[in-house]
Structure 1
Amino acid sequence: MVNSSHHLSALLICFAVTTAAGICQAADSPGETAAAVKRGEYLAIAADCSACHTAPRGKPFAGGLPISTPLGTIYSTNITPSADFGIGHYSEEEFSRALRRGVRRDGASLYPAMPYTSYAKFTEDDAHALYLYFTRAVKPVEQRWPSTELPFPMNIRASMMAWNLLFLDTAAFAPDPHQSAEWNRGAYLVQGAAHCGTCHTPRGFLMQEEASRALSGAQVGPWYAPNITSDPISGIGSWTKGDLVTYLRTGHLSGKAQAAGSMGEAVEHSFQHLAAADLDAIAAYIKSVPAVADPAADTSRFTAGKMSSELGQLRGRAAISSDSESDPSGAELFQGNCTSCHSAEGRGSRDGYYPSLFWNSATGAKNATNLIAAILYGVNRTTSGRQAFMPGFGGRTTDINALSDRDIAALGNYVLTHYGAADTAVTEQQVAEARRGGPSSPLLMVARGGMAAAAVIVFLGVALLAFRRRNSFA
């Protein structure tokens, strides 16, 4: 009789619980639930949820972060268990559908700025663990943020249904039996939770990831997520597995690269907190990614440039000055803004805190995007309690100390000429574009062109109709 009552109770509980797959399962024991919540917390860190869903000086996961995309600004949502403003009313099935299919509780489609195309790889168990963490361990925040209002026709969320049919792979991750357990773990994290392809894979005309060029580099707002394939020139084929692990844990690899922008956020909020075995697995998988070469790159971005002594030779001479007080020379700008940290020779500080300007991916790349963004927005990440900081010199339009587009172009060209990829140039137009948040998608331009064409057609149609009516009354 005791056993029968126990089974009846379990059955009743089972009936009340909906799983991510929509199948009734027995409720977890308290110990199993606690373990699942803990795993969900770890997965949320691996997925870097806080970086996008926490606004500056905001509460964790309360949303409100403006995200610049090629189609306009998207505001992250509140994913705390608030019943009025968050996901408090989401069932587990609805949560899983939003996480892995990009469909909200009300049936509207999410934009793939929320990387559900990668999160589709989550297993049922991990989606379950995430649900338990967000609904049971995260504190609700009663706060509403601006809703996303993309320009027409991008604001028609129903169009995402067609996009998903074309480009969303809904299959959960399946291990490759021909690869090691470490490789498979790395593939699961890179393709799923860490969603590396979201930033590092170039996108096609319809903003879909181009699988044939996976991880070969792409624009991310004003920054550029570089090629991280195994190509020794264009990618990171020259890095050892240990180099990659060090970079993921610290955001710094002496004489090669420093994490900034969204990669700096990923290091600070996600990678540095992952288990050593998972970092090893990620590195093992990325090192195996097929090489994709950039025909324009003939020298590794990590070995370009050299130490320069020109500024020291010019110091105190008229050659360092420009003819116009309102248009300082690149040398003047470098001396006034950069030498105190990076030295006149560009070798950085002796302890390596301030990196050298040669053998540096930001100055050695053929693409100067990250150099421009670093000057404009600076660098700010904290790992193991130690902050890596460089101030941004873009400032606000009302800041009299801010550098203009012309200044940043002049400074960038001076740095490239004397320390980095000397055959790369920075233009004022590139700086202005980065200041606006990065390039717009050609899809948006075509859509706007189509709207203009439609407006002209409607206008001509109305005019023709009016003309015919006028003639009919003549």
Structure 2
Amino acid sequence: MRNIRIRHGRLSAAFAGMFVAVCAHAADAPDQTAELIKRGAYLATASDCVACHTAPGKKPFAGGLPISTPVGTIYSTNITPSMDSGIGRYTEEDFSRALRLGIRRDGANLYPAMPYTSYARLTDVDTQALYAYFMHEVKPVDEPGPTTSLPFPMNIRASMKGWNLLFLDPKPYAPDPQQSVEWNRGAYLVQGPAHCSTCHTARGFLMQEDMSRELGGAQVGPWYAPNITSDTVSGIGNWTKEELAQYLHTGRVQGKAQAAGSMGEAVEHSFQYLDMADIDAIATYVKSVPAIRDSADAGTRFTAGKISSELSTLRGADGIQTVGEANPSGAELFQGSCASCHSAHGEGSKDGYFPSLFHNSATGARDPNNLIAAILYGVDRKTSAGQAFMPGFGGKPTDAMQLTNRDIALLGNYVLKQYGRADATITEEDVAEIRSGGPSSNLIALARGGMAAGAVVVVLIVIFFVVRRRKRRAA
């Protein structure tokens, strides 16, 4: 009986201990979940998910944003926890496969406009945190978005299986023991969540990132993501780490560059909210990226041009400006559309709100596409430091400020000659291309041609064997 009482006492103590442990775990679970969601929210911000998955005027993460690509327009999907229109039915494993392998819950492949090739670097813990955030913090939106319909044969999503076999590295980021903790953190953020190479790395023949030119610059829709390697001429090797951190946090470095287009969105929705320790880590890593130089660059894009004005040539003897209405010159277009903000001499405003047009990366670059895009689409970037705004002049023909392709080519060439890289030129065709969303790819035509050639080969082989078989029978 004594042994039974001892065992009973030990069992009671054991159950009491288990009960306390379970209660303690239950008490901790909400805090742990909240911490996981908080981490996921930060990672979603670092990944700039909202920029692509929230269309203007629509609800957060409901998708529907048209994304211009060289092979057609891709619409972002609804990634709210809606059961019918979003990812509400996704398990954590489903979510991880979509995020890191580009495979939807139904088994169909995503297009790499969703940068899963970068998100593949995410750790399991960070993937779990993102899942917790989207499932428990994001509000479901039961609104289906437009369906992506690329031209044949790009509409065959199964073709992405072969593309992934060739170009997707599914391994998460592995820290480099030879580098510092800060460098590794920066490398993880740049290669993974921030997916910098998606825009700043040129694409190969099959639209894969050419990592031999990592961060060496690439066209992304109507905007050009410039070379951000450590090269002192073509890249940002002449920037200090502090300047790069300032640019990421505010979107501008006076006298050098201003963020616009997709980079402006990245600053507005992502970088400005990151911890300064992470911003510094990103700057540390980017400054270490091997230099890539364009042989056509004789000097850095940040110091081109000088103060200049042709205002005196546009004024009559009585001091009244004479502006031609039917066929304005580049100088007349500049004075009518740009001088009121950037000044008649191109030096911008004293407080730097309106940037100088010389010593400006948009006017000093060999590729003038960003100057064209800025004139067409304008700039609208909001940060804690305030709003940077420039109206676009590429609106509808009925808009008062709308400029034609010819006007923009004349204006752009005037600005380049007066304030920037004088050997760069802009044609009406260049403006038309940027107005339409950027350069297109000949991959579709080549793919169709290849399929047609393959079909012809198959037909010839079949004919060969049919003729051969008949000859044998005849013999």
1:384-406 deviation line (CA, Å, top 9, x unaligned): 06110000000024435410100
What corresponds to 1:55 in structure 2? 55
Amino acid at match of 1:414: Y
Unaligned runs of 5+ in 2: 1-10, 462-475
**Alignment partner of 1:295 is 2:295:** yes
Unaligned runs of 5+ in 1: 12-25, 462-474
Q: CA deviation at 1:444?
A: 2.1
Alignment CA distance shift 1:390-1:451 (3 Å): farther
**Segment drifting more, 349-358 vs 324-333:** 324-333
The 5 Å alignment of 1:330-349 reads 330-349=330-349
Give distance in 2, aligned partners of 1:337 and 1:458: 60
Alignment CA distance shift 1:321-1:429 (3 Å): farther
Q: CA deviation at 1:327?
A: 2.0
Amino acid at match of 2:259: A
The 5 Å alignment of 1:310-389 reads 310-316=310-316, 325-384=325-384, 386-389=386-389
1:293-350 deviation line (CA, Å, top 9, x unaligned): 001111100000111032245434799868x742211011101100000011000011
Alignment CA distance shift 1:290-1:354 (3 Å): same
Alignment CA distance shift 1:441-1:133 (3 Å): same
Give distance in 2, aligned partners of 1:61 and 1:258: 27
What corresponds to 1:174 in structure 2? 174
1:187-243 deviation line (CA, Å, top 9, x unaligned): 000000000000000000000001111000000001000000000000000000000
**Alignment partner of 1:69 is 2:69:** yes
Amino acid at match of 1:29: A
Give distance in 1, aligned partners of 2:296 and 2:411: 24
Alignment CA distance shift 1:297-1:242 (3 Å): same
Alignment CA distance shift 1:136-1:425 (3 Å): same
Give distance in 1, aligned partners of 2:456 and 2:392: 44
1:409-431 deviation line (CA, Å, top 9, x unaligned): 00000000111101110000000
What corresponds to 1:133 in structure 2? 133
Alignment CA distance shift 1:174-1:6 (3 Å): farther
Q: CA deviation at 1:441?
A: 1.4
Please give the TM-score of this superposition, normalised by the length of structure 2. 0.89
Alignment CA distance shift 1:91-1:405 (3 Å): same
SS in 1 for 2:192: helix
Give distance in 2, aligned partners of 1:100 and 1:179: 25
Give distance in 1, aligned partners of 2:290 and 2:315: 48
Q: CA deviation at 1:30?
A: 1.8
Alignment CA distance shift 1:169-1:435 (3 Å): same
Amino acid at match of 2:218: A
Alignment CA distance shift 1:385-1:364 (3 Å): closer
SS in 1 for 2:376: helix
What corresponds to 2:210 in structure 1? 210
Contact 2:51 2:269 in 1 (8 A): yes
What corresponds to 2:261 in structure 1? 261
Amino acid at match of 2:93: E
Give distance in 1, aligned partners of 2:16 and 2:64: 48
Amino acid at match of 1:96: S
SS in 2 for 1:307: coil
Give distance in 2, aligned partners of 1:192 and 1:27: 34
SS in 1 for 2:356: coil
Percent identical among aligned pairs is 69
**Alignment partner of 1:37 is 2:44:** no
Contact 1:205 1:442 in 2 (8 A): no
1:69-98 deviation line (CA, Å, top 9, x unaligned): 011000000000000000000000000000
Q: CA deviation at 1:447?
A: 2.5
SS in 1 for 2:68: strand
What corresponds to 2:447 in structure 1? 447
The 5 Å alignment of 1:234-249 reads 234-249=234-249
Q: Larger Rg: 1 or 2?
A: 2
RMSD: 2.7
**Alignment partner of 1:189 is 2:189:** yes
Contact 1:320 1:332 in 2 (8 A): no
Give distance in 1, aligned partners of 2:396 and 2:460: 44
**Alignment partner of 1:148 is 2:139:** no
Alignment CA distance shift 1:452-1:377 (3 Å): farther
SS in 2 for 1:29: helix
Alignment CA distance shift 1:170-1:456 (3 Å): closer
Contact 2:228 2:236 in 1 (8 A): yes
Give distance in 2, aligned partners of 1:319 and 1:430: 34
Give distance in 1, aligned partners of 2:456 and 2:212: 39
Contact 1:321 1:328 in 2 (8 A): no
1:82-139 deviation line (CA, Å, top 9, x unaligned): 0000000000000000000000000000000000000000000000000000000111
The 5 Å alignment of 1:395-434 reads 395-399=395-399, 401-434=401-434
Q: CA deviation at 1:259?
A: 0.3
1:263-289 deviation line (CA, Å, top 9, x unaligned): 000000000000000000000000000
Contact 2:316 2:322 in 1 (8 A): no
What corresponds to 1:469 in structure 2? none
Please give the TM-score of this superposition, normalised by the length of structure 1. 0.89
Give distance in 2, aligned partners of 1:33 and 1:311: 64
Contact 1:43 1:193 in 2 (8 A): yes
**Alignment partner of 1:438 is 2:438:** yes
Contact 1:222 1:434 in 2 (8 A): yes
The 5 Å alignment of 1:268-287 reads 268-287=268-287
SS in 2 for 1:193: coil
Give distance in 1, aligned partners of 2:35 and 2:411: 53
**Segment drifting more, 59-68 vs 312-321:** 312-321
**Alignment partner of 1:99 is 2:99:** yes
Q: CA deviation at 1:62?
A: 0.6
SS in 1 for 2:31: helix
Contact 1:409 1:428 in 2 (8 A): yes
